[in-house]
Amino acid sequence: MKKTARQVLRSWVRIVQTLKPGQTLQVTARGKPLVNITKPAAEKRVLPDFARAARADRAGTKVGDRLLKRLLADEALS
C-alpha cells in the first residue's frame, strides 16, 4: 500500500486498521519513499490436545457428553 505523508497524518488510525498482518505501507513525501511500515504477522497459537488430556484423566466420552449437555442447557436458559 502506498500513501503520502499528508494522507497518513490525516487518517493514521484508519490506515493502520486496514493493514493486514505482514502487509507493508510505504509513506512518500514529494513522490520519494520516506518510510516503510510493516504490520507484524500474527503469532500462531498452539491449541492444547484435549483428547490426550481426557485420556490421561481417564475421562471417557460419556463425561464429555454430560458436560456438553449441561453447558448447552445453561446457555438455553440465559
What pLDDT tens digit does each residue of the chain (78 aa) get? 899 999 999 999 999 899 999 999 999 999 999 999 999 988 888 888 877 877 777 766 777 788 888 888 877 665
CA atoms within 13 A on the CB side of 71: 6
Q: State pTM to two decimals.
A: 0.52
pLDDT at 66: 84
CB 5 within 8 A of CB 27: yes
pLDDT at 77: 64
Task: Give the whole-angstrom CA distance, residue 73 versus residue 16.
Answer: 42
Name the one residue in this structure whose C-alpha cell is 483428547: 51
CB-count exposure of residue 66 (10 Å: 0-12, 13-18, 19+): exposed
